[in-house]
Amino acid sequence: MDVYDLRGLNCPLPVLKTRRRLAGLPAGSRLWIETTDPLAVIDIPAFCHDDGHRLVASESVSSGYRFLIERGG
């Protein structure tokens, strides 16, 4: 499973880069993303909902936030 390091990037870059990365993966693929952007806790779930992906997990970690996204079909 891929881990996409987006730490140090601020809104809207984490969402834009996640969208681009997921576009290159087959439906059902899972991608961990890591970010330090505090707005990601709002932006990433909204992005998943709007784009038809499933937010499998989200967690706060010492280095920021981690999200597990499953690419929709």
Q: Which residues are catalytic?
A: 11
| C-alpha–C-alpha distance, residues 72 and 3, integer Å | 18
| C-alpha–C-alpha distance, residues 20 and 55, integer Å | 16
| C-alpha–C-alpha distance, residues 27 and 20, integer Å | 14
